Amino acid sequence: MVLRLATVSFLFAELLSAQTTAQSVRAAVEQEFGGIFTVTGASEQLKISPVFVTGDFNGDGTTDLAVLATPRTEQIKAHLAKDPHWSIPTLTITKVLSPAVTARQAKEAQISMADFGQNFKDAAVLLILHDFGKPAAAGSRFALVDFCNSGDLSMTVSRKPLKSTSAGDSGVIAAPRLKSDTVRFLDKKNEGTAVYWDGARYLWYPVE
């Protein structure tokens, strides 16, 4: 996928300004991913607001973007019909797993573009764009699925420490030590999930 640097630079500069709007985020996502995502916080059995937040999600000191979307599966299929090997090199599509994940489980959780286009229509997706303010050296991009519970939720950014939680017969799961901002999806009781970076991948942890 070829992007014009000037166009991308303008869009990302706009995002970094105080005038950032949902419209400018949608324009950036459209340019970044070639039109395969629709920016929305609503999907089947799920409604999340706001639709985007910013923070330092991987702890490198730069601003990242987290934005909610659903895949345009027909657009993905159209790309693949022209080129069965089509992909976006910087994009990792994966299910979000718990802290006890093994390397094998993490590999199995990754989703191919063909599988994504075939089996994830209308799925809620959390897009995370690292270093989105640096288009000349764009950072990694992630499309995360299975990252929160269903219902009406709020998306917030927090580095507040997480609490250890019970794991039934397995005892207590120690809370991860956070080194970056988390994206949290909370209900009216301020309970839900936190998506955080462990240095290699995004994982989820319960917020109770």
Q: In 10 A of CB 25, how many CB atoms?
A: 25
Residue closest to 145 by CA, chosen among 164, 131, 170, 128: 128
Confidence of residue 8 (pLDDT cuts 50, 70, 90): very low
Question: Is residue 148 within 8 Å of 123, Cβ to Cβ?
Answer: no
Q: Which domain holds residue 47?
A: 5-154
The predicted pLDDT at position 7 comes to 45
pLDDT for 138-154, tens place per residue?
A: 689 999 999 999 999 99
pLDDT for 165-186, tens place per residue?
A: 876 666 678 899 999 999 999 9
State the average pLDDT over residues 123-144: 84
Q: Return the percentage of the chain with pLDDT > 70, whole number.
A: 85
- 95 domain residue, yes or no: yes
- 204 domain residue, yes or no: no
Place of tokens 């979307």: 69
User: CA–CA distance from 124 to each of 18, 38, 121 (Å)?
Assistant: 27, 10, 9
- 170 domain residue, yes or no: no
Which amino acid type is present at position 58? N
Residues 6+ apart with CB under 8 A from 111: 93, 94, 95, 120, 145
How many structural domains does the chain have? 1
Tokens encoding 8:
């991308």
Confidence of residue 20 (pLDDT cuts 50, 70, 90): low
- 178 domain residue, yes or no: no
The DSSP secondary-structure symbol of 143 reads E
- 109 domain residue, yes or no: yes
State the average pLDDT over residues 123-146: 85
Is the model's pLDDT at 5 over the cut of 50?
Answer: no
- 127 domain residue, yes or no: yes
Question: Is residue 118 within 8 Å of 76, Cβ to Cβ?
Answer: no
- 56 domain residue, yes or no: yes
Report for 19-28, 113-122, 168-177: range of highest mean pLDDT: 113-122
